[in-house]
Structure 1
Amino acid sequence: MDSTEATAASRTWCNFETSRTILFIFGLIQSFSCSGIIFGFTAIASALKNIGQYSSLCSSTNSTSGTVHCANQDLRFSLLYTIGSSALFASFICHGIILDRIGPKIASCTGLTCISIGFYILSFSDSNGFDGYPEAFALIGAGGPGVHLSLFHLANLFREGIRGTMKSCLVGAFVMSAILFPLEGWLLEGVHANREYVFLVHASWLMLLALAGAFVWPIKRFQDGDKVYLRGFLLRYTIVPHSSIVENVEMPPQVTEDVVLEASKSEVISEYTSKSDGTQGDIDTQTDLGTESNARIPGTASNSLVNAPLLRQMRSKEYLLLFSFACIHVLRFNLYIGTFIQQIQYLEGKGNSSQTNVYTLALTLLLPFGALSIPLIGRIIDRYSLWHGFIFCNMLGMGYGITNVVPVLQVQFLSIIFISLHRMVLFAVLYSYTSATFGYANFGFLFGLMQLVAAVISLLVYPLASISDNQLGGNYMCVDLVMLAIMMPLWYFCPGQRPQGTASL
């Protein structure tokens, strides 16, 4: 430990490893509390239906196997999910710009506040009175990416060999947050808890996390090799910049609203505090990340794109391949989720819906548990390369593609398992490759643009479903085979580059 670290460590109550772990866990708690909760919408929609929301739309019902279905009510909740999920994907680019130009503190707090307000509106909404459900689910969806994207710079606090696992954990928290809506649905239906209180508690918890994040998170992102030391309590900590450890040079003091740089002959320490007497300095994302490591990362084609100009990154072969990979897999995933009930009903046979609810429940519960693949995908990325991670993602994508075209109902349990693992692995490799190849200077915009276009392309789900329902008698096999075929080129045009001399899986 050099003099800079020794000085910082002497002012703290725990070491660097413990400090960064506490900050990382706090980030996981924030993400798990809300970031991807909209993907658990099916469960909360079922609960709201059963307690009478939008029941006034049911002038007529269809009953099969003892289950009452109201087409207009189902359509209204489908619209609410469309609003929420569209808001989530569309807001990626907005939060990405905030992250790139202002920093993680504002991005995180904006996202948490947005979702908290959504839950406050949800708690007071009633279809027979103040119908705030569209606005509530739009806010809940729109805030998620802000919380999620703002956490990936935490991986810079860890050594290169485990950063893939750390990023996978952050994606896992995003995926696992979808379990909260099923939990709240169970409270409403199983325990008969008061609907207003359930949503108010969630909203208040998120507001507390937003206030805590306003003190905890830095204005500027952590740089590669930075070390943090907690000082007395969680809301104050000291950062030892990587540049001061490597160069150990004297730098002039600079004061900003959230950063205090203290310089001495052998010490350059920046302190993020909850109070400051200074004025806010200029925030420059390129300067913020200018010292990021340029070491070659296995599975990335080049290190010349790290923090390069935005247009150069967007025009690069690496980004175009990543862009295509994401759009194809997101389209396939959304088609599967959006037509899951119709495909199960077709396999089960008309007039028999006894098993449809079982498979729907299985999908709702198993999707969040795709996070169990975190150790596996993290090890693949860290031990082998990102290229191997993309290949593994293709394997899972082909797995649910093949099982989905098998006209046997019981086989669909396998497709549910494959899709659950695939979603987790897909986002893990997308986030890891984007940050490793392009750096963090334009990370938010690049990933947000990719998600926005993928969401627009996913609008093809509706006409594809319409063709299957109206022209093919509800048989989705042709559409599923087309979806399986369009991913075949991804085996050859795979993002990244297989590292020379690395072990195969």
Structure 2
Amino acid sequence: MVAKCCRLKHTKILGAYNVSEWKRIAQICAAVVYCLLAAGIVFGYAALKPILITEGVYRDRCTKEELDQGVDVCSEQEIRLNLMFTVAAVVTNICALPVGGILDSCGPRVPGAIGSIFIALGALLFANPAHFPYDGRLTGYALFAIGGPFVFISSFHLSNTFPKHAGLILSMLTGAFDCSSALFLLFRLVHGKANGFFTIKTLFLIYLIVPAFILASQVLLMPSRSYSTVGELLQHAEETLAEDESENGGHSAVTQERDADLSPRYQRLISQINALIDDQNSQSGSEYTSNPAFKADPNWGVMHTSSSLQQILSPWFIFITLFTIIQMLRTNYFISTIHPQYEYLLSQPNQPRQLNHLFDFFLPLGGLIAIPFIGIILDQSTLPGILTLLVTGATLVGVLGCISDSLPAAYANISLFVLYRPYFYTVVSDYAAKVFGFQTFGKVYGLITFLAGLGNFLQSPLDILTIKILHGNPVPVNIGLTGAGAIAGGVLAWFVWWRNKRWMGVGSAACDVGETERLLPDALNERREGSYGALRRGETA
């Protein structure tokens, strides 16, 4: 019965070593392409809005007096246009929770396919709003916001295709998400130069190619199960060993010759895992060498075997969630209020508009530039160092946003912001993958994003506070958000550092990373004897 249960559990495991290298590369490339074209397009609304205004969207909401005055955008039209983005921004974060549940239950292929359907429906409604009884464009934009997380979150597991480069792969996916906001900038350029040929309807009908590509990729290329982390593969190897021992009539005695007693299946799995971690050494037949990307990080995999409820109730979840709520509120609040903020902070009337135009261009560009640097940081650094840099960057951005009458500080602020934003999003997903694993990744990461989305509802009260009570002065709000983020982030970084130091003390007897193949069986047997050490990269806990 135990063996049968183990086999059932094994069906959830997908090791990257089971898939050819070229196919894994193709899967990553396809995911980056469709995330670039669909994952976060709703955040490029600033570039889409002029097209909507040019084509008279919601112009029917203007009064006769406003039309006679020839205003570019009337008040009701402006409110309705802004509502489109507000709904999309909230929906994008909130729907991450159901996406995560579907991902954990059905694997990545199903949410990817569902996302393509939502995106296709959004494009059809946006192109033909008159055929929908309600507001077709608002509904279509909301469908884009729903479809984006389905295709984006379901791609995160691809970071396990090449564990040595997991950080780089995650940063590529997050960079594609950030750069996808440039799609509507491209639409605006084409629309402006086509002399009326490329209308909104034409552009979004052409865009239907994208959801078709996503669906085809899910059916023909993407795996039905998420790739497992190294820790999950090691747990699978342990279960395989326990199964074989059970079938042989009992557990083997743990002696100095224990390695020789291990089952061939177990030895083969360990060999495959080692080969996956270090391709060059496996090809040359040499022993596993020390690699900075795989230096022991005691926090790696610390809750991989815990239930989703245990993970959600742990300090690991609570601290990262509090920081994410505050930081995502700060990020989206800055994006939506950058122009009025710098109208107050800068003395020259033309400077805020120039800064805003530059920001629209820098926002997608920042994600593209940051990709390799984020990948290097995540692959070469331990979790405490990654989080320390995260909190430091957040605090620096907040301080720069409080400096008035300084154009250099304003340029420095937006430049650092567009680089920091993709780092922030990537670190949160990387943290969830490293600490919680991919068996519960959808639920845990989805809940973090869901709660952060609820936090975005505070944007309206902050707007009211700034405009009506503070008379347009953004500095008090910026100071408050910066201070709250620094405190929450500081507690998170300290907690992870403290656990890191504690584990390093407990696992100080672990040997050099170069002895990984010997230490992996040791780690597994230690855990079976009751001293779980989370199967960290080359070190026992």
TM-score by length of 1: 0.77
The secondary structure found in structure 1 opposite 2:95 is helix
Check whether the contact 2:345–2:404 (CA below 8 A) recurs between aligned residues. Answer: yes
The secondary structure found in structure 2 opposite 1:89 is helix
Following superposition, the deviation at residue 438 of structure 1 comes to 0.6
The size of the alignment, in residue pairs, is 427
**1:366 match:** 362
Which has more helix, going by share of residues? 2
**2:490 match:** 491
Question: 2:24 matched to 1:20?
Answer: yes
* In structure 2, C-alpha distance between the alignment counterparts of 1:396 and 1:457, rounded to whole Å: 21
Alignment of 1:111-190 (within 5 A): 111-125=115-129, 131-159=135-163, 161-190=164-193
Check whether the contact 1:348–1:355 (CA below 8 A) recurs between aligned residues. Answer: yes
Structure 1's 492 and 311: CA in aligned 2 closer, same or farther, altered over 3 A?
closer
Amino acid at match of 2:496: G
Over residues 151-184 of structure 1, what are the superposed CA-to-partner deviations in whole Å (9 max), with x where a residue is unaligned? 111122213x321111111111111111101111
Which of 373, 377, 400 matches 2:374?
Answer: 377
Following superposition, the deviation at residue 348 of structure 1 comes to 4.8
Structure 1's 110 and 409: CA in aligned 2 closer, same or farther, altered over 3 A?
farther
**1:322 match:** 320
Which of 468, 481, 484 matches 1:470?
Answer: 468
Which of 201, 205, 211 matches 1:200?
Answer: 205
Check whether the contact 2:122–2:144 (CA below 8 A) recurs between aligned residues. Answer: yes
Over residues 367-419 of structure 1, what are the superposed CA-to-partner deviations in whole Å (9 max), with x where a residue is unaligned? 11222112212211211212222222222212221111111262322211122
Q: CA RMSD in A?
A: 3.3
Over residues 323-356 of structure 1, what are the superposed CA-to-partner deviations in whole Å (9 max), with x where a residue is unaligned? 112111111112212222221222356xx86444
Say which is worse superposed, 377-386 or 407-416, in terms of deviation.
Answer: 407-416
Say which is worse superposed, 92-101 or 408-417, in terms of deviation.
Answer: 408-417
* In structure 1, C-alpha distance between the alignment counterparts of 2:220 and 2:395, rounded to whole Å: 45
Following superposition, the deviation at residue 296 of structure 1 comes to 9.3
Following superposition, the deviation at residue 304 of structure 1 comes to 4.1
Amino acid at match of 2:334: Y
Check whether the contact 2:117–2:147 (CA below 8 A) recurs between aligned residues. Answer: yes
Q: Which structure has more RCO (C-alpha within 8 Å, separation ≥ 6)?
A: 2
The secondary structure found in structure 1 opposite 2:470 is coil
The structure with the largest alpha-carbon Rg is 2
* In structure 1, C-alpha distance between the alignment counterparts of 2:396 and 2:414, rounded to whole Å: 10
Structure 1's 112 and 128: CA in aligned 2 closer, same or farther, altered over 3 A?
closer
The secondary structure found in structure 1 opposite 2:496 is coil
**1:255 match:** none
Following superposition, the deviation at residue 19 of structure 1 comes to 2.8
Amino acid at match of 1:85: A
Alignment of 1:178-257 (within 5 A): 178-191=181-194, 192=196, 193-224=198-229
The secondary structure found in structure 2 opposite 1:487 is helix
The secondary structure found in structure 1 opposite 2:388 is helix
Which has more strand, going by share of residues? 1
Matched-pair identity in %: 23
The secondary structure found in structure 2 opposite 1:220 is coil
Check whether the contact 2:115–2:150 (CA below 8 A) recurs between aligned residues. Answer: yes
Following superposition, the deviation at residue 461 of structure 1 comes to 1.4
Amino acid at match of 1:194: T
The secondary structure found in structure 1 opposite 2:52 is helix
Amino acid at match of 1:221: S
Which of 79, 84, 87 matches 1:83?
Answer: 87
**1:238 match:** none
* In structure 2, C-alpha distance between the alignment counterparts of 1:202 and 1:126, rounded to whole Å: 19
**1:404 match:** 401
Over residues 106-127 of structure 1, what are the superposed CA-to-partner deviations in whole Å (9 max), with x where a residue is unaligned? 0111112111210111111269
Question: 2:147 matched to 1:107?
Answer: no
The secondary structure found in structure 1 opposite 2:228 is coil
* In structure 2, C-alpha distance between the alignment counterparts of 1:110 and 1:298, rounded to whole Å: 38
